[in-house]
Each structure stands twice: as structure tokens, then as C-alpha cells.
């Protein structure tokens, strides 16, 4: 036991170098996401000026666009992280550690990207709508928490179920249709709205929309904050339970067929 403990500290420099290397593998996705999202926002502002769009229509479109960008960043972060997880798991076993550091650092990178995109939205919007900066920072932080937790959980599931990609895409499309991107929350009844907010993605997307566009009452939902924290706590419990299960399996009981393909697709 003492020998393994000493070996772990001896391998820390290599562990951090590998973690930074894995984070750098996300740079293409991060840069592409930021540029495409920023371009869409600038084109939208230019179209508003050329077409002379009225303020209420501009606010409605910006509201939807904010939600779409928030969802896209979260989706891309989780998708890329869990696909890299199996390879990281096997490598970090040599350091007597886990790939959590890789997931956390890459999640931080996507979380910062989300926050910067919201800053771009705030500074480029052509109408003087209210903005709650505390709300933008708060929901960026909650999105970061969500991305790290779900990336780790889906990464462990991906080791046991290599066909997770198809299921992830199908569920993501369904959840996206239920988000306030294709509709406005004030157009639905209160009961349905409360049911939709049971979806943690709705909580994050709608919270960011209110913080950037609406401003008031963006963070005044104590009940939903508590619900989100409880949901995330449950996801953490599932993550640790599945991780313990995976660690008890023999290496040949894991599925390796998808690792090489994922490496080739993700590598720059």
C-alpha cells in the first residue's frame, strides 16, 4: 500500500501532463463552437438592423438564441468528454488515479466558453433588455457542475454500453424539443411550465435566458435550485456506484472496440 502511495506521487507530473494533453484535444471543438456561435449572433444583429425588426421580436429571437447556444455548449461538452473517458480510465489506472481531473479541466474549458458566449450576446444585442450578471455567472457555474457530473457518469456508462452514442443523440433531440428554444415559456400554462422545469436542462437553459434577456427573477427560484442540487447529488451517487462496479471488472470485461475510433475522430 505504501509503495503504491509513493508511486502515485512520483507519477503526479506525468499525470498532469497527460491531463493537459487531453484537455488540448478539445481545443478544436471549443474554438469552432465559439466562432460559430459568435458568427450566428453577429449575423442576427446585422439582420435586425437591415430588416428593421421591432424590439419585441428581437427580444424573442435573442431569447431563443441564448437557449440554443447554452444547450449546444452543454451537449458538445458532455458528448466529447464521455467519448474520451474509457481511454482516460485505462491510462490513469497506471497512476493509481481516475480521469476525473481530465473531465473537470475540460468541463472548466467549456464552462468558460459558455460564459464568454453569453458576454458576447449581452454586448452585441441591439435592444436594451435587462441583464443580471450574477445570474449569468451563477448559471454558468451550475452548467459547469452539470457538464462535469454528467460527463463522468456517461463516461462510466459508455465503458459498459458502447452504443451510448445513439441513445445520447435520441434523448438529446427529445430534450431539446422540450426546452424553451422553439417556444416561449409565457405561452404555456403554469402547470406544464413547472413540469418542464423538472428537466435539469430546462433549469439551466431557461435560467440563462432569463439572466441574459429578462434580468429580473432570474435566480429567484429557491425550490428549483434545491431540486437541481438534489438531482445532481443523485447523479453523483450513481457515478460513484457505477465507477466502483467498473473497477471490480476484469479489463477484458470492458468493451474496447470503440476506443481507437474515438481517438482518431477526436484527435487533431
Residues 141-148 have a mean pLDDT of 96
- What secondary structure, in 3-state letters, does the chain show? CHHHHHHHHHCHHHHHHHHHHHHHCCHHHHHHHHHHHHHHHHHHHHHHHHHCCCHHHHHHHHHHHHHHHHHHHHHHHHHHHHHHHHHHHHHHHHHCCCCHHHHHHHHHHHHHHHHHHHHHHHHHCCCCCCCCHHHHHHHHHHHHHHHHHHHHHHHHHHHHCCCHHHHHHHHHHHHHHCCCCCCCHHHCCHHHHHHHCCCHHHHHHHHHHHHHHHCCCCCCCHHHHHHHHHHHHHHHHHHHHHHHHHHCCCHHHCCCCCHHHHHHHHCC
Q: Which domain holds residue 230?
A: 11-266
Instruction: Flag whether 212 is in a domain.
Output: yes
Number of structural domains the chain divides into: 1
Instruction: Flag whether 166 is in a domain.
Output: yes
**Is residue 258 pLDDT above 90, yes or no?**
no
Instruction: Flag whether 20 is in a domain.
Output: yes
Residues 104-109 have a mean pLDDT of 90
Residues 242-256 have a mean pLDDT of 65
Instruction: Flag whether 254 is in a domain.
Output: yes
Between 5 and 203, the higher pLDDT residue: 203
**Is residue 181 pLDDT above 70, yes or no?**
yes
Instruction: Flag whether 253 is in a domain.
Output: yes
pLDDT at site 145:
96
Instruction: Flag whether 168 is in a domain.
Output: yes
Least confident span in 63-67, 98-102, 119-123: 98-102
| Residue 15 confidence class, pLDDT cut points 50, 70, 90 | low
* Average per-residue pLDDT for the chain: 83
Between 242 and 16, the higher pLDDT residue: 242
**Is residue 266 pLDDT above 50, yes or no?**
no
Residues 109-129 have a mean pLDDT of 89
Instruction: Flag whether 183 is in a domain.
Output: yes
Instruction: Flag whether 86 is in a domain.
Output: yes
Residues 88-106 have a mean pLDDT of 77
Amino acid at each position: 500500500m505504501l509503495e503504491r502511495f509513493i508511486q502515485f506521487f512520483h507519477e503526479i507530473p506525468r499525470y498532469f501532463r497527460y491531463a493537459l494533453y487531453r484537455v488540448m484535444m478539445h481545443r478544436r471543438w471549443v474554438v469552432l463552437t465559439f466562432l460559430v456561435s459568435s458568427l450566428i449572433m453577429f449575423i442576427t444583429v446585422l439582420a435586425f438592423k437591415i430588416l428593421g425588426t421591432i424590439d419585441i421580436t428581437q427580444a424573442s429571437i435573442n431569447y431563443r438564441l441564448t437557449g440554443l447556444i447554452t444547450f449546444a455548449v452543454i451537449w458538445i461538452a458532455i458528448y466529447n468528454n464521455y467519448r474520451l473517458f474509457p481511454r482516460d480510465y485505462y491510462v490513469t489506472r497506471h497512476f493509481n488515479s481516475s480521469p476525473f481531473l481530465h473531465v473537470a479541466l475540460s468541463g472548466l474549458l467549456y464552462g468558460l466558453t459558455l460564459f464568454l458566449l453569453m458576454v458576447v450576446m449581452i454586448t452585441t444585442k441591439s435592444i436594451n433588455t435587462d441583464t443580471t450578471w450574477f445570474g449569468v455567472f451563477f448559471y454558468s457555474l451550475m452548467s459547469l457542475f452539470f457538464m462535469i457530473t454528467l460527463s463522468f457518469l456517461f463516461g462510466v456508462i459508455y465503458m459498459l454500453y458502447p452504443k451510448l452514442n445513439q441513445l445520447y443523440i435520441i434523448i438529446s433531440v427529445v430534450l431539446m424539443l422540450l426546452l424553451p428554444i422553439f417556444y416561449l415559456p409565457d405561452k404555456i400554462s403554469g402547470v406544464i411550465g413547472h413540469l418542464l422545469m423538472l428537466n435539469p436542462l430546462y433549469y439551466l437553459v431557461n435560467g440563462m435566458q432569463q439572466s441574459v434577456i429578462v434580468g429580473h427573477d432570474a435566480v429567484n427560484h429557491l425550490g428549483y435550485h434545491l431540486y437541481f442540487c438534489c438531482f445532481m447529488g443523485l447523479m453523483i451517487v450513481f457515478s460513484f456506484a457505477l465507477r466502483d462496479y467498473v473497477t471490480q471488472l476484469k479489463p477484458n470485461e470492458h468493451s474496447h472496440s470503440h476506443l481507437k475510433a474515438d481517438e482518431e475522430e477526436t484527435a487533431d
